[in-house]
Amino acid sequence: MTSAAPSSLLAALLDTALAAGREILDVYAAPIAVTTKADASPVTEADERAEAVILARLAEIAPDVPVVAEESVAAGKVPATADRFFLVDPLDGTKEFISRNGEFTVNIALVENGVPVAGVVYAPALGRMFAGEGASAWSADVAEGACGALKPMAVRRAPAGGLTVVGSRSHGSPETDAFVGRYEVAEYRSAGSSLKFCLVACGEADLYPRFGRTMEWDTAAGDAVLRAAGGRVVNPDGTPFLYGKRDQGHDVDFANGFFVAASADVAVAG
Is 89 known to sit in a ligand binding site? yes
Is 92 known to sit in a ligand binding site? yes
Is 184 known to sit in a ligand binding site? no
Is 93 known to sit in a ligand binding site? yes
Is 70 known to sit in a ligand binding site? yes
Is 218 known to sit in a ligand binding site? yes
- DSSP states along the chain: ---PPPPHHHHHHHHHHHHHHHHHHHHHTSPPPEEE-TTS-EEEHHHHHHHHHHHHHHHHH-TTS-EEEHHHHHTT------SEEEEEEEEE-HHHHHHT-S--EEEEEEEETTEEEEEEEEETTTTEEEEEETTEEEEEEEETTEE---EE--PPPPPTT-EEEEEESS---HHHHHHHTTS-EEEEEEE-TTHHHHHHHTTS-SEEEE-S-EEHHHHHHHHHHHHHTT-EEE-TTS-B--S-----SSS-TTEE--EEEE-TTS----
Specify binding-site residues for Mg(2+).
Answer: 70, 89, 91-92, 218
